[in-house]
Amino acid sequence: MKTVNNTRNTILSRFFYAIRFALCLFLSFQENNECEKHKSITFAEKFYIVNEFSSGLLQKAVDEISGLPGIGKRSALRLALYILKRDRHFAVSLGKSIIDLRENINYCKRCHNISDTDICNICANPKRDGKTICVVEDIRDVMAIENTGQYFGLYHVLGGVISPMEGIGPEELQIQSLLERSEKEDIEEIFLALPGSVEGDTTAFYIYKLLHNKGLRFSSIARGIAVGDTLEYADEVTLGRSIVNRQEYRQ
Ligand SMILES: [Zn+2]
């Protein structure tokens, strides 16, 4: 009797498995599929999505990965399956680097750039020009400016820009520490390299008002026509700024 029941359960299980498989095939070949999430993904991925994950471990990994910004469930599944395909060492190394990043990374006590030590490599470099401080929104801007190889001063990372809509005021940013630096350090120029948005302009204006009586020179990143752009396709604000900020022609 027990054997008969087991056989029946196995048949039923295979029946439902076959139905899910058929549903995947249907989704795979269906044109103008109404369900956007099943488009342009592999058959294996469709099968896992429809199957609602045959593994709780895979489900958990997908849930965690999809918590990252810009990663949806579909991309998370693709990444999880890729990690499964690689050898164990890859997964261990990836996991360890994420834990090390979270547990051991520091922020520079002087400029708030990300760092492995209390003072970052840029602040600790005696060849950098300590009289100029470039004020940026976040560490990605430091990386972008460093990649140009055109700036040799120090930085100050605000950690965001003033945005009343998002509830970010000056107190949430590293503006007070910039004021303290302007008083303690031998600074001559504040170079404002903030986003060309209302929030970026508001933040730049706030910093200028806060520090303008400290005897500092203020500059801001040039804005205008990008290299390779055509004038006729530039918007009026960008073209207008390019004209106002026109510079001496140099060969
Ligand atoms: Zn630093």
- Three-state SS for 32-78 is CCCCHHHCCCCHHHHHHHHCCCCCHHHHHHHHHHCCCCCCCHHHHHH
**What CA–CA distance (Å, rounded) separates 241 from 79?**
43
- At residue 13 the predicted structure's pLDDT band, cuts being 50, 70 and 90, is low
How far apart are the CA of 67 and the centre of ligand 1, in A?
A: 30
How far apart are the CA of 176 and the centre of ligand 1, in A?
A: 16
pLDDT digits 0-9 by tens, 76-119: 999 999 999 999 999 999 999 999 988 988 999 999 999 989 99
How far apart are the CA of 215 and the centre of ligand 1, in A?
A: 23
Those residues whose C-beta lies under 8 Å from the C-beta of residue 241, and which sit 6 or more positions away, are 223, 224
**What CA–CA distance (Å, rounded) separates 18 from 50?**
12
How far apart are the CA of 138 and the centre of ligand 1, in A?
A: 13
pLDDT digits 0-9 by tens, 181-232: 999 999 999 999 999 899 999 999 999 999 999 999 999 998 888 888 888 8
CB 195 within 8 A of CB 137: yes
Alpha-carbon separation of residue 158 from 137, 141, 247, 250 (angstroms): 5, 11, 29, 34
Q: Going from the N-terminus, what domains does the chain have, and what CATH number goes with each?
A: 2-102 (no CATH), 114-220 (3.40.1360.10)
Pairing label, strands 114-115, 106-107:
antiparallel
Query: In this structure, what DSSP letter does residue 191 have?
Result: E
**What CA–CA distance (Å, rounded) separates 3 from 205?**
80
Question: What average pLDDT is seen over the chain?
Answer: 84
How far apart are the CA of 141 and the centre of ligand 1, in A?
A: 14
Three-state SS at 5? helix
DSSP line for 222-235:
--SPPTT--GGGS-
How far apart are the CA of 160 and the centre of ligand 1, in A?
A: 17
Length in residues, the chain: 251
Pairing label, strands 189-192, 217-220:
parallel
Is 60 exceeded by the pLDDT of residue 34?
no
Specify the pLDDT at position 224: 85
pLDDT digits 0-9 by tens, 190-202: 999 999 899 999 9
How far apart are the CA of 139 and the centre of ligand 1, in A?
A: 11
pTM of the model: 0.68
CB 62 within 8 A of CB 78: no
CB 132 within 8 A of CB 189: yes
